[in-house]
């Protein structure tokens, strides 16, 4: 499948314009993500339709806590990523791209939608597990079909994408969870191989589009857990995206090239309290402790609107409109 965003040049071969790396790719070579190949001057999306895993997940697992709470979503992922985070929690599929494609792993967009429609409590399709940006054309085609049959589309992403392709996605994707891995460009450059600025731009564009947005901050001991830096992040989120921005502060476990110890609950709890000073909806993730940062409270009357036990919902106190059942504030969640 030919890539949608690239230019040809006699000197460099092709330049991919899908993500801010702008890889210049010579003939028979691939870009940084290993998913785009210059084949005689044509940039090919070589991982088109290659699926590493698929599963019917609770929407809370994405994580999305304010988008159809309690529903399920058919989730699919492939291989590869355009960042190389040394702490990647999903490195088995994100930092590995099969060179010889097993045709049995290729699933057409029509087949994905056929599967998604089988499940009764399923609201749609989530593009997740690895970085879906690098399968842009496949995601767009699948999401368009999904939209045609009335299903919702979710993208779980690092946000490292250029503005023109993102604008196309905003026509078909209904909800995003975007990682904000630190509030520090130095961290992004050294630890992920990217830069923070395009990601901040993506967050602002998604917010401006009116599509549903939640943000995940994975806290890694000694790398991005400075309280001062985190406070700047929370202030930016509140100031630029609004205090109603949903933030998931998530615990890290040693993985891939990093063996720093797992995030302590105390550290998550402290960040949670600082985040709550700026944002209305803050949650803790990847922690055994269910006491803090699990439920949704109405910012107006303080009632528990959603009570959760892990990804399971034990009580819902909102109207069909998504407004608080007690005081009518909202909508707090998207529910239709
Ligand atoms: S999508 Fe891949 S090939 Fe294209 S610029 Fe990004 S890393 Fe490079």
Is residue 9 very low, low, confident or very high in pLDDT (cuts 50, 70, 90)? confident
Q: What is the pLDDT of residues 218-268, one digit of tens each?
A: 999 999 999 999 999 999 999 999 999 999 999 999 888 888 889 999 999
Between the alpha carbon of residue 292 and those of residues 51, 151, 249, 282, 285, the distances in Å are 36, 33, 11, 10, 10
- 53-292 folds as TIM Barrel (3.20.20)
Phi-psi region of 159 (alpha: psi -120 to 50; beta: other; left: phi over 0): left
* Selected residue with higher pLDDT from 290 and 60: 60
Tokens for 311, please give them.
């990804």
* Selected residue with higher pLDDT from 101 and 49: 49
**Top mutation candidate among 82, 164, 202 for ligand 1, by most atoms within 8 Å of CB:** 82
Query: For 116-135, what is the mean pLDDT?
Result: 96
State the Cα–Cα distance between residues 230 and 210, nearest whole angstrom: 25
* pLDDT at res. 215: 98
Mean pLDDT (the chain, rounded): 95
Is residue 120 very low, low, confident or very high in pLDDT (cuts 50, 70, 90)? confident
Query: Which residue puts its alpha carbon closest to atom 6 of ligand 1?
Result: 19
* pLDDT at res. 12: 83
State the Cα–Cα distance between residues 216 and 239, nearest whole angstrom: 17
83 lines ligand 1 (CB under 6 A): no
Q: CATH 3.20.20.70 region(s) of the chain?
A: 53-292
Query: For 159-176, what is the mean pLDDT?
Result: 98
Place of tokens 């901040």: 200
State the Cα–Cα distance between residues 140 and 86, nearest whole angstrom: 29
Query: For 12-19, what is the mean pLDDT?
Result: 95
**H or E stretch at 37:** strand 36-39
* pLDDT at res. 203: 98
In eight-state DSSP terms, residue 189 is: I
The atom of ligand 1 lying closest to the CA of 136 is 1
Q: What is the pLDDT of residues 54-66, one digit of tens each?
A: 999 999 999 999 9
The atom of ligand 1 lying closest to the CA of 19 is 6
Neighbours of 165 (CB within 10 A): 18
Query: For 39-61, what is the mean pLDDT?
Result: 95
In eight-state DSSP terms, residue 106 is: B
State the Cα–Cα distance between residues 202 and 204, nearest whole angstrom: 5
Query: For 13-18, what is the mean pLDDT?
Result: 96
Cis amide prior to 63 (ω within 30 degrees):
yes
Query: For 142-160, what is the mean pLDDT?
Result: 98
Q: Which pTM was predicted?
A: 0.96
What percent of the chain stands above pLDDT 90? 86
DSSP letters of 49-74?
TB-SEEEEEEGGGTT-SSBSTT-EEE
Neighbours of 138 (CB within 10 A): 25
Q: Return the CA Rg of the chain.
A: 20
């Amino acid at each position: 499948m030919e890539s949608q965003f690239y230019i040809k040049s006699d000197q460099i071969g092709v330049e991919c314009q899908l993500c801010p790396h702008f890889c210049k790719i010579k003939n028979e070579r691939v870009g940084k993500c290993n998913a785009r190949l210059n084949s005689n001057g044509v940039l090919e999306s070589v991982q088109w339709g290659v699926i590493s895993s698929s599963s019917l997940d609770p929407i809370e697992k994405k994580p999305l806590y304010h988008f159809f709470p309690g529903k399920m979503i058919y989730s699919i992922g492939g291989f590869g990523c355009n960042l190389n985070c040394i702490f990647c929690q999903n490195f088995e599929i994100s930092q590995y791209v099969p060179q010889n494609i097993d045709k049995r792993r290729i699933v057409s967009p029509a087949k994905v939608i056929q599967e998604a429609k089988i499940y009764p409590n399923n609201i749609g399709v989530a593009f997740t597990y690895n970085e879906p940006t690098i399968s842009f054309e496949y995601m767009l085609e699948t999401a368009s079909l999904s939209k045609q049959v009335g299903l919702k589309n979710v993208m779980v992403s690092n946000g490292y994408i250029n503005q023109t392709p993102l604008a196309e996605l905003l026509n078909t994707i209904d909800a995003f969870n975007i990682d904000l891995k630190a509030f520090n460009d130095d961290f992004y450059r050294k630890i992920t191989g990217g830069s923070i600025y395009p990601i901040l731009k993506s967050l602002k564009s998604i917010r401006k589009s009116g599509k549903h947005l939640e943000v995940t901050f994975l806290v890694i001991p000694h790398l991005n857990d400075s309280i001062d830096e985190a406070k700047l992040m929370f202030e930016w989120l509140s100031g630029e995206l609004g205090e109603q921005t949903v933030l998931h502060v998530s615990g890290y476990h040693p993985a891939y090239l990093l063996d720093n110890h797992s995030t302590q609950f105390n550290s998550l709890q402290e960040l949670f309290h600082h985040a709550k000073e700026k944002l209305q909806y803050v949650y803790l993730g990847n922690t055994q402790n269910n006491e803090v940062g699990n439920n949704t409270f109405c910012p107006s009357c303080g009632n528990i609107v959603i009570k959760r036990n892990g990804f399971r919902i034990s009580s819902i106190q909102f109207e069909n409109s998504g407004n608080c059942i007690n005081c009518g504030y909202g909508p707090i969640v998207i529910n239709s």
